[in-house]
Structure 1
Amino acid sequence: MSTDEKTPPPYATEGKETKEGLHAEHHVDILHDEVLASSDLMNDAFDGENYEHSQGLWQSVKSHPWACLWAFIMCFTIVMESFDMFLNGNFVALDAFKLRYGVQQADGSYQIETKWQSSLFQAGQCGAFVGVFLAGPVTNRLGYRWTTLLALVMINATIFISFFADSLAVLVVGQAFEGIPWGFFIANAPAYASEIVPLALRGACTATLQMSWSIGSIIVAGATYAYNKRTDEWAWRAPLALQWIFPLPLMVLIFLAPESPWWLLRHGKKEQALRSIERLGSSTNPEGTQQTLAMMERTVEIERKLGGSPSLLDLFKGSDFRRTMITCLMYASQNFAGNLIANQATYFFQQAGMAHELAFQLNLINSCLQFVANALSWPLTAWFGRRTIYLWGTATNVVLLVILGVCASIPQTQQTNYAQACLGIVISFVFAGTLGPISYTIIAETSSVRLRALSTGVGRAAYYVAEIPMIFLASWMLNPTGGNIAGKCGYVWGGTAVVCFVSAYFGLPELKHRSYRETDILFNRGVSARKFKSTVIDVRENE
């Protein structure tokens, strides 16, 4: 029944609101502090949360196809960080690049010195470290859309520095400036994706972040394979120029995307939040839209009562400190379970004894297999819990990394060289199907809604704090001018992966099928990580 067929609803004079009055031409939005006292809205919130719990993966896809699309587009911004990260890993394997910037070895070949090799990898990460700290406050003020658009403008400009660089020093500076917008992308993409999709889709949609990494690596592998035979500067300038194909189309799409309704509600923009929910789902179901809105308002109000306006210091207070630590550990652990082998795959294959041309071919195969593994991770997130996937993925890579070390320790033959190369590919495949994508899901689900933009930024900063020294270590272990231990690096990464496994076993909770309200309650109660899955939370509890 429409409002035209009834007398004016009570919210018009008493500051209250009904479902029918939500779309009235003139109305007063209910104040956030009245949400928990409104029986109508609370019943809607109960219904909305119960409905989300009842939805399966495919049902959610059919009811929210646009949410899936916008989540994927936002996650696709990560392609630019992936592209550049893998590009640097391939530059040090390009003959033309090594001849221009490398130093001659005793055997007459040229190699990029370890200090410059690690600087190329680290510069972008240092810039991104700055970017992730800027991303949280800027996003809290501007929203996910406008912050991402700002970052896309920035990266379009900073690519010029790298493209026109005529020395390693300038190239390093260019990478550092490009890294700043990377920080915005990686901080915002998982947070935005997790906020706009239904509960059943959170795992699959946030896992597309890892797929974006794989897409970037495939493009790089294809481009460097195509140009690796060139002997002039275009062997590396042409792949650098390919970065310009991403920002403009993404700017158009992000401009058209809806803002996160959670962000809009946190900033008192209820009507815009309602329109955003309608755009993300189905505007033909006003009752379902109202229930979703009420569910969100309820969670926003509970968190507001607990913490007020968000600040960086809040991340380290009370139960939010535990959530911040989990987010940081999940991000940092991505550097400790063999992933850095994939980041320097071509160079790793060369040091494992593969011929120059074959190393580039294997890198392309490795990148394509990572994409396949990412796709396989989607049903995995629907069938298994986040904790289960992470622990089994880590345990599998521990075994494979130790075997890699053993293969490199015995007398070397062509067979052991191929075995090391194959193990490197399998390790990357396991990471891309388990640890990599599920880490982003865990990160997006762990933080409170109120602190999500800040939490993902600080968590990614922890990633860079761990990655920067690990990149130097990875480069030193593979480089003939450094440790030159090739596949024996499996022992090192196997040991660090064991630390990740133990930390996750005791500290990583299971958040599958948990609404943000339920997650808040579990952390506020201090429930043990291993008891998250079995603890029952009633739909009417407002802790």
Structure 2
Amino acid sequence: MASTRGQKDQADAEHDDRGGRDDGPPLKLHGAKRDNVLEIEATRAITEAEHQLGFLAALKQYPSATFWSLFFCLAVVMAGYDAQIITSFYALPAFQQKYGNLVRTSVGSFDFEVSAPWQTALGMGNPIGQVLGALASGYPLERFGRRWTLAACCIWSIGFVFVQFFATSIGMLCAGEILGGLAYGFYVVIAPTYSSEICPLALRGFLTTSVNLAFVIGQFVAQGVAAGLESRLDSWAYKAPFALQWLWPVILLALLPFAPESPYWLVRQGRKADARQAIVKLSSSTNPPDIDQVLLGIEQTDLLEQELEVTSSYWDCFKGVHLVRTEISVMVYLIQVIGGNPLIGYANYFFEQAGLNPSDAFNMGVGNTALGFVGTVTAWPLINYFGFGRRTIYNAGMLFMTLLLFIIGFLSIPTDNRAAVWAMATLMDIWTFAYQMTVGPICFVIISEISATRLRTKTIAIATAVQAAATIVTTVAMPYMLNADEANWGGKAGFLFGGISFICLVWCHFRLPESRGRTFEELDILFQRKVPARQFKNCDLLGEGETGTDAAKELA
């Protein structure tokens, strides 16, 4: 096996033969396998350096990467904000008078109300847009890169916020929601992809969990804005929240020209000089990493995936070992919906049942999103300070959340019990905290790590589309489950989601691998060897000599 330095000299020689040009495809280096067993020898020094780099040292070496990763997450704030704000409008008198119909209430008086079909249609605008936008994101992200695609989406969002702000009918508003939602599908693919590709291994967990924090911030801001405008009776009660959506894309567009492009994407485009310059911009000027070594590691990961014949089509996500990687990404994202989150979204409903007036119940909802914020921030020390693995945190969260759902179900069995309703609402808040500390943020870490770098945008797009499609289903189903004039399950829905959550927990035990502390190249090798998920943590690639290679053959 040629050494890392030898391979670099060979690549530099090829570069010189091309007259110093960096715009051609990278040299395809062979030797990633021995006796059909993938090895880590080619990048041993690079991989060891990644493993030895601590969290604080990584922050000092990559301050710009940290900033730009968090900056790209601003786009996700828009997605969380829009999904939360539109549903809060249904109880606003000004919105009801503008877009509702005059109906007779249960006490015989007349009042304005947005019809149930239109409520459903408006609520589906965001997830339908995400399904379409996520699936459409693959080509532009690979063709134009992360920066320019995000810039185009910001312009798109600005345009369709105009449609929402100036809508003269509920149909026009619904069209604005769906078309505006297309950009949200892009945002939730771009942010985790970009974060995972610009940061070192030590920062990957911290920065990719920030995607979930951005969702929570968007929801929290939406709840606060709606609560603050609840008493207004003019059109600004709903127009002001729409107008606030212009803030985020304007900030993004102002700074995007200064953001470095993903070095992984640049390497795949054959733009080695630009990739090197991007790494320089992402790292500290006073305490930089070994730029050439970082670039070589990116090139070697790309070359390994070329050796494994990884291309970048949607179909490749379902071929060979990549089917397993796609399955994992889809499931950890899908669990966010089918594992109980829709029930928790109705916490305000249970607060009202417990005797709170709608205004106080709404304020309790703001508290619920605040708990989500605290939970996500709590995930950071779990990942970085205490060093818990992704699999450990995710599975522990699933176990705790499953138990809570069953307890909520049992508490609903007594009828007309005010204390039991309060207990259910309180447990929903605890569930929210646990979810945002474990499954919520860790999901984004996993989907950013598990997929091959050449397939990352498309794998995340597929997972996003499936998750959004499941959201559409639950948006339709939940009112029929909980409404008094329908199934009237109430807290008994905890049994349904608890059962689904238990099945998901079993899947996690057998199928979810541990990706903590693994470079992208190491993950490529482990998946190609078909190492069982529960053995990922203990498979020592760097410690392998000839004996390690023989052991790997047995695993393959």
Counterparts of 1:345 and 1:275, CA distance in 2: 49
The letter of the residue matching 2:221 is I
Aligned to 2:44: 46
Pairwise CA distance, 1:458 = 1.1
Counterparts of 1:418 and 1:399, CA distance in 2: 18
Call closer, same or farther: CA 1:113–1:417 in 2, change over 3 Å.
farther
The letter of the residue matching 1:33 is L
Call closer, same or farther: CA 1:336–1:282 in 2, change over 3 Å.
same
Counterparts of 1:405 and 1:333, CA distance in 2: 19
What does residue range 474-485 of structure 1 map to in structure 2 within 5 Å?
474-480=478-484, 482-485=486-489
Pairwise CA distance, 1:299 = 0.7
User: Does the aligned pair in 2 maintain the 1:261–1:277 contact within 8 Å?
Assistant: yes
Counterparts of 1:154 and 1:106, CA distance in 2: 43
Aligned to 1:230: 232
What does residue range 124-139 of structure 1 map to in structure 2 within 5 Å?
124-139=126-141
2:438 corresponds to 1:440:
no
User: Does the aligned pair in 1 maintain the 2:343–2:494 contact within 8 Å?
Assistant: no
The letter of the residue matching 1:416 is A
User: Does the aligned pair in 2 maintain the 1:194–1:202 contact within 8 Å?
Assistant: yes
Pairwise CA distance, 1:476 = 2.7
Counterparts of 2:146 and 2:104, CA distance in 1: 48
Counterparts of 1:133 and 1:200, CA distance in 2: 30
Aligned to 2:380: 378
**Where in structure 2 are there 5+ consecutive unaligned residues?**
1-7, 33-39
- Match 2:180 to one of 178, 196, 200: 178
Call closer, same or farther: CA 1:412–1:110 in 2, change over 3 Å.
farther
User: Once the two structures are superposed, what CA deviation does each residue of 1:419-459 show, in whole Å capped at 9, x if it has no partner?
Assistant: 22222211111111110000010000010001111111111
The alignment partner of 1:534 has SS state of: coil
Call closer, same or farther: CA 1:35–1:229 in 2, change over 3 Å.
same
Aligned to 1:32: 26
Call closer, same or farther: CA 1:199–1:169 in 2, change over 3 Å.
same
Call closer, same or farther: CA 1:12–1:228 in 2, change over 3 Å.
closer
The alignment partner of 1:307 has SS state of: coil
Pairwise CA distance, 1:525 = 1.1
The alignment partner of 2:337 has SS state of: coil
User: Does the aligned pair in 2 maintain the 1:45–1:291 contact within 8 Å?
Assistant: no
The alignment partner of 1:246 has SS state of: helix
User: Once the two structures are superposed, what CA deviation does each residue of 1:18-42 show, in whole Å capped at 9, x if it has no partner?
Assistant: xxx9xxxx8345962355579xxx9
Counterparts of 1:249 and 1:453, CA distance in 2: 24
Pairwise CA distance, 1:349 = 3.6
User: Does the aligned pair in 2 maintain the 1:73–1:254 contact within 8 Å?
Assistant: no
2:370 corresponds to 1:368:
yes
Call closer, same or farther: CA 1:248–1:311 in 2, change over 3 Å.
same
Call closer, same or farther: CA 1:132–1:409 in 2, change over 3 Å.
same
Pairwise CA distance, 1:403 = 1.9
2:497 corresponds to 1:493:
yes
- Match 1:506 to one of 496, 503, 510: 510
Deviates more, 1:336-345 or 1:148-157: 336-345
The alignment partner of 1:320 has SS state of: helix
Pairwise CA distance, 1:538 = 3.1
Call closer, same or farther: CA 1:204–1:301 in 2, change over 3 Å.
same
Superposition RMSD in Å: 2.7
2:130 corresponds to 1:106:
no
User: Does the aligned pair in 2 maintain the 1:323–1:446 contact within 8 Å?
Assistant: yes
Call closer, same or farther: CA 1:45–1:16 in 2, change over 3 Å.
farther
What does residue range 210-249 of structure 1 map to in structure 2 within 5 Å?
210-249=212-251
The alignment partner of 1:32 has SS state of: coil
**Where in structure 1 are there 5+ consecutive unaligned residues?**
1-8
Identity among equivalent pairs (%): 34
Aligned to 2:76: 78
User: Once the two structures are superposed, what CA deviation does each residue of 1:340-365 show, in whole Å capped at 9, x if it has no partner?
Assistant: 24545545543554311111211111
Counterparts of 1:296 and 1:104, CA distance in 2: 65
The alignment partner of 1:217 has SS state of: helix
Aligned to 2:281: 279
Counterparts of 1:363 and 1:118, CA distance in 2: 20
The alignment partner of 2:462 has SS state of: helix
What does residue range 45-64 of structure 1 map to in structure 2 within 5 Å?
45-64=43-62
Call closer, same or farther: CA 1:140–1:519 in 2, change over 3 Å.
same
What does residue range 180-219 of structure 1 map to in structure 2 within 5 Å?
180-219=182-221
Aligned to 1:267: 269
The alignment partner of 2:250 has SS state of: helix
The alignment partner of 1:527 has SS state of: coil
User: Does the aligned pair in 2 maintain the 1:113–1:481 contact within 8 Å?
Assistant: no
Provide TM-score, normalisation by structure 1: 0.90
Deviates more, 1:105-114 or 1:408-417: 105-114
Counterparts of 2:122 and 2:353, CA distance in 1: 19
Pairwise CA distance, 1:484 = 3.8
Counterparts of 1:11 and 1:124, CA distance in 2: 50
The alignment partner of 1:84 has SS state of: helix
User: Does the aligned pair in 2 maintain the 1:194–1:206 contact within 8 Å?
Assistant: yes
Counterparts of 2:522 and 2:412, CA distance in 1: 48
Call closer, same or farther: CA 1:85–1:14 in 2, change over 3 Å.
closer
Aligned to 1:516: 520
Counterparts of 2:393 and 2:521, CA distance in 1: 23
Call closer, same or farther: CA 1:127–1:391 in 2, change over 3 Å.
same
User: Does the aligned pair in 2 maintain the 1:86–1:343 contact within 8 Å?
Assistant: no
Call closer, same or farther: CA 1:234–1:481 in 2, change over 3 Å.
farther
Pairwise CA distance, 1:301 = 0.6
Counterparts of 1:48 and 1:12, CA distance in 2: 17
Pairwise CA distance, 1:286 = 7.0
The letter of the residue matching 2:427 is L
Counterparts of 2:519 and 2:51, CA distance in 1: 8
